[in-house]
Amino acid sequence: MKRHPSRPKPVLQSVKIPEHEQIDLKFIADATLGTLVTWLRILGYDTTYDQGTANRQFLRRAQKEGRIVLTRKRDLVEKQFIGRFLVIEHDRVPQQLSEVIEKFVLKPAAGRSFSRCLRCNLTLEKVRKDDVEGLVPEYIYLNLTDFRQCSQCRRVYWAGTHKENACRFLKQHIPAHPL
């Protein structure tokens, strides 16, 4: 049986994206990178998540929406796609996040972090304390004043232990992060 030479691994050279363009940077990730999607949203990046099969339709959507494709599936490189593409090499989230930041020379901004809904990916809106009564635990309602809400899923966000833990994770794995 004749063996075909293995194809070289797809490699994306670091692509420095100017800081003023990073505000509008958009990603799309396939089903292999669900947790990475959450962390990119925490950093404030518009990141959609496609739980289906990463195929030509997935790539067409990325191209139509001007999104950078993130995947662990090497065979996607063989498809015709003219947009930006990164095959994530690592299987652990801290290294995946570092890989995206390093490959695109991203400078996550403190003011953009925690600005997107982790479920819907929409930008969170500041809401009055009275608007969240009954939507958050009573202790939170009585002790905090700053709340954000997703206009689609209506999920309410506030600075609590989840945010503290996320900041600790980011400082540990992205030392240059300004949180």
Domain boundaries, the chain: 19-103, 125-173
Q: What is the pLDDT at residue 132?
A: 96
Residue closest to 157 by CA, chosen among 107, 93, 113 = 113
CATH entry 1.10.10 includes domain 19-103: no
What's the predicted TM-score (pTM) here?
0.83
pLDDT tens sequence across 9-61: 344 555 667 666 666 789 999 998 999 999 999 999 999 998 877 778 888 89
Q: What is the pLDDT at residue 1?
A: 43
Contact 120, 154 (CB under 8 A): no
* Residue-wise burial string across 77-113, b where 16 or more C-beta atoms lie within 10 A, e elsewhere: beeebeebbbbbeeeebeebbebbbebbebebeeeeb
C-alpha to C-alpha distance for 63 and 57, rounded to whole angstroms? 10
C-alpha to C-alpha distance for 146 and 155, rounded to whole angstroms? 14
Residue closest to 59 by CA, chosen among 83, 39, 43 = 83
C-alpha to C-alpha distance for 22 and 104, rounded to whole angstroms? 10
Token pair 């400078």: residue: 107
Q: What is the pLDDT at residue 10?
A: 44
Q: What is the pLDDT at residue 167?
A: 86
Q: What is the pLDDT at residue 85?
A: 83
Query: Which stretches of the chain drop beneath a pLDDT of 70?
Result: 1-16, 18-23, 76-80, 175-179
